[in-house]
Structure 1
C-alpha cells in the first residue's frame, strides 16, 4: 500500500491511497470462492460454478463488497502512515475495482490546525474579590418569596399600573393583515418586565379590565422572534383581568415551610448565603479563566475546522430544541427558523472551538494529562453534584461510552487551573473590575 498526503488548506488534507493489484486479486478470488460454495445456478452443481458465470450473476455485488472491505481495512493504516488524524467523516473518491489492477482511492478530510502557543504563562490578570452582602441575601429571599406568592384578582376597579399582572388577548397585524402565529389568548403579562417589547407594556398602563387598545411597534431586524423581526406591527390588545401577587410574610413559619432542615428565618438566610457564596466562587473562577483565555487568544491566528464548528452548532441547536419540546413549545411556535438559529449560534461556536484547540495545544506542549487520580477526583465531584455514589457515576459514563468526553472536560479544567496557577493575579473589587473592562471595550 502506498499513501500520499496533500495539503488543501491548513485544516483540510487529501489522502491518496494505492492498493497493490496482488491484494486486489487476492480479495476478489476469496470473495468469489465464498460465493461459489453456496451459489445455486441452474445447470451447475453446487461448488462447481465457473468464475465467469459467477461474475455475470454476482459481479456488481462482489465489486461493491470488496471495495468496502479494502477501504475499511486500509484507511486506518493509511492514516497512521501519513501521521494524521481525520476529524469527522472523510469524503471518499474511488475508482472502480478491477481484477489485475491497482486500486486507487482518496479521502478528503479536515484535521486539527498546527500552531504553537507562546507566552501563555506569567500573564497579568484581574480577579474579582468574593463578596456576598446582606443585600444579596435579601434579594434572593425576595425571589423565593415571589416564587411562593399567590396570584389573586384585584378587587377594586382601578387602572393598570407598573408591576401589575394582566391577562391579555392580542393579535399582531402587518399592513392590515393578521400575522400567522402572532396571536395569544389569556397571556399573563407582568407590566414593566417587557417580555415582548417595552411599548407593549406601556400600552397597558392606564387601561382597566376588559378595555381594548392598539399599539404600533417597529421591531429591530435582529429581534429574537423571526415572524416579528424587521417588521412594523400593529397589535390589537384586550385586557381580560388584572391580578396582583400577594407575597407571604418573611418569618420563621415561611422558612420552615420551605424545608424540614430549616428551623427559622435565620437558618434560611444562612443557607442562602452559603449557596450564593458557592455560586459566586464558581462565577469568579470561570471569569478569571475566560480572561486568561482571551489574553492568550489575542496573539494567535489559525484556521478553524468546519466540522468542529458544525458539531458545536449542532449541540447548541439540539439543546435548545429539546428544551422547547420539554416546555411544550417548538421552533415554529416560537417563530424561530433553524437557519436563523444556526447563524446566530455560529460566532459563539467558533469561539468555543478556538478556545478548545488552544487549550489542547497548551496541554500537549506543557505535557498536561489526566491520570487515574484526576479521573477519580472527577468522579467524586460528579457524584457529589448528582447526589449519587462514585460507582454509580462510573457505570453511568462507561455504559454510555462517555468516558473520553469526561476526560476531555477534566483535561480542559486542569489546563485552565494550570494557567491560573502560573498567572500574576491581581484581586479587585467588582465595581473597579467592571469599570476597567468597560474602558477596554471602548478602546477596542
Structure 2
C-alpha cells in the first residue's frame, strides 16, 4: 500500500460513502516516467527515430494523453488500496469524480455503496416447535394408487387423426409384486418402504422450510434498515429474468413477454427487497459467528441458527 496516500470517508447515508483519496510523491512521478517511456517507444515524431525524441517535445505533444494513462492506471489501484485501508465492503463499482492530477499529486473522490451495519441480536435460542413425522399406511396407499392410475392410462396418438390423443388402458389393475417389479422394485413390500421414505422426506422438507421461515421472521421482525439499491436492482433483475423464462416456456411470444416488463418489475420488487433483507441479515450473523461470506453462507448460517434454536415437540 502506498505510504503517502491520504483517505477520508464521508457518510452520505446508511449504505453510501464518499471516499476522498490523495496521493503524492514518487508513485505519481514514477508512473509519469513509465508512461512517457512507453509513449517514447511508440511515438512517431518527424526527425526522430522511435525512442529518441527529446523529453520536452514528448511532454508538449503528449501531455494530455500521458495524464489519461496515468489516471487510468493509478485510480483503480489507489481506490482498491483505499477501500482495503478503510475496511469497506463495497457492493458495486465506484462513481469517480473531482479528479485532479499534476506531476506529483493525484486526488479524486469515489462514491460507493456498502453493506449496511445491521445490529442483529437475539438470534440464538429462538423457540421453534416441530411435529414428529409419522407416515400412515393410508398415505402410502394413496401414493401407490396414484402411481397405479398414472401407469394404467397412457396417452397414445390416433393414427387416423393426427394430433388427437386417446387414453388407452395398459392393463394395470392390481397392486402386487408384479406391479412393483414394473416400477423397478423386487416386490410390493420394497415399493411400500420406498414410498414411505419418500413421503417422510417430503414432510420433513416442508416442516424444515416452515421452521426456517419462522426463524427468519423472528430475527428480521425488529430490524429496520435501508436496503442498498444496487443489491435490490440486481436481485430484481434476476427475478424478472426468471419470470420471463417461465413465460417463454409456457409459450408466450417475445413481444407478449416484453409487454409485461413493467408489471413484472412492480410485482416482483417486494420479493426482491425481502430476499435482499434476508441475505443481509444472514450475512451479518455470519460475520459475528465467523462463517465465511461465500456462496454457501446462507445455508451455513441457517444450519447454525437451527443448531442454536430452542426446540420443542408440539403436542
TM-score (norm 1): 0.60
Task: Tell me which of 70, 80, 85 is aligned to 1:81.
Answer: 85
Work out whether residues 244 and 257 of structure 2, in 8 Å CA contact, stay in contact via their aligned partners in 1: no
* Residue of structure 1 in register with 2:126 after alignment: 123
| Aligned-pair CA distance for 1:98 | 3.5
Residue 92 of structure 2 aligns to a residue whose secondary structure is strand
Q: Would you say 1:369 and 2:294 are equivalent positions?
A: no
Distance 2:50 2:309 in 1: 77
Task: Tell me which of 413, 424, 431 is aligned to 2:310.
Answer: 424
Task: Tell me which of 64, 71, 84 is aligned to 1:67.
Answer: 71
Residue 405 of structure 1 aligns to a residue whose secondary structure is coil
Q: Would you say 1:405 and 2:291 are equivalent positions?
A: no
Matched residues, number: 304
Q: Once superposed, what is the RMSD of the aligned Cα atoms?
A: 3.2
* Residue of structure 1 in register with 2:212 after alignment: 289
1:317/1:140 CA distance change after superposition, 3 Å: farther
1:22/1:417 CA distance change after superposition, 3 Å: closer
- Structure 1: gaps spanning 5 or more residues: 155-185, 187-240, 371-402, 430-444
| Aligned-pair CA distance for 1:56 | 5.5
User: For residues 133-148 of structure 1, what are the structure 2 equivalents within 5 Å?
Assistant: 133-145=136-148, 147-148=150-151
Kindly provide the CA deviation profile for residues 32-62 of structure 1, in whole angstroms up to 9, marking residues without a partner as x: 1222134332211332213343345544432
* Residue of structure 2 in register with 1:256 after alignment: 181
Distance 1:95 1:257 in 2: 75
Work out whether residues 368 and 415 of structure 1, in 8 Å CA contact, stay in contact via their aligned partners in 2: no
| Aligned-pair CA distance for 1:153 | 9.4
1:150/1:336 CA distance change after superposition, 3 Å: farther
* Residue of structure 2 in register with 1:110 after alignment: 113
Task: Tell me which of 38, 45, 50 is aligned to 1:41.
Answer: 45
Structure with a larger share of its residues in helix? 2
Work out whether residues 331 and 338 of structure 1, in 8 Å CA contact, stay in contact via their aligned partners in 2: no
| Aligned-pair CA distance for 1:7 | 0.8
Work out whether residues 21 and 82 of structure 2, in 8 Å CA contact, stay in contact via their aligned partners in 1: yes
Task: Tell me which of 260, 266, 272 is aligned to 1:337.
Answer: 260
Residue 112 of structure 2 aligns to a residue whose secondary structure is strand
Work out whether residues 331 and 337 of structure 1, in 8 Å CA contact, stay in contact via their aligned partners in 2: no
TM-score (norm 2): 0.82
- Structure 2: gaps spanning 5 or more residues: none
Moved over 6 A (4+): none
Work out whether residues 240 and 264 of structure 2, in 8 Å CA contact, stay in contact via their aligned partners in 1: yes
1:422/1:15 CA distance change after superposition, 3 Å: same
| Aligned-pair CA distance for 1:320 | 4.1
User: For residues 6-405 of structure 1, what are the structure 2 equivalents within 5 Å?
Assistant: 6-20=10-24, 23-55=27-59, 57-95=61-99, 97-100=101-104, 102-145=105-148, 147-148=150-151, 149-151=153-155, 248-252=172-176, 253-259=178-184, 262-322=185-245, 332=255, 337-365=260-288, 367-369=289-291, 404-405=294-295
Structure with a larger share of its residues in strand? 1
Work out whether residues 10 and 303 of structure 1, in 8 Å CA contact, stay in contact via their aligned partners in 2: yes
Kindly provide the CA deviation profile for residues 376-406 of structure 1, in whole angstroms up to 9, marking residues without a partner as x: xxxxxxxxxxxxxxxxxxxxxxxxxxx9423
1:153/1:2 CA distance change after superposition, 3 Å: closer
1:271/1:59 CA distance change after superposition, 3 Å: same
Residue 88 of structure 1 aligns to a residue whose secondary structure is coil
1:31/1:425 CA distance change after superposition, 3 Å: same
Work out whether residues 40 and 58 of structure 2, in 8 Å CA contact, stay in contact via their aligned partners in 1: yes
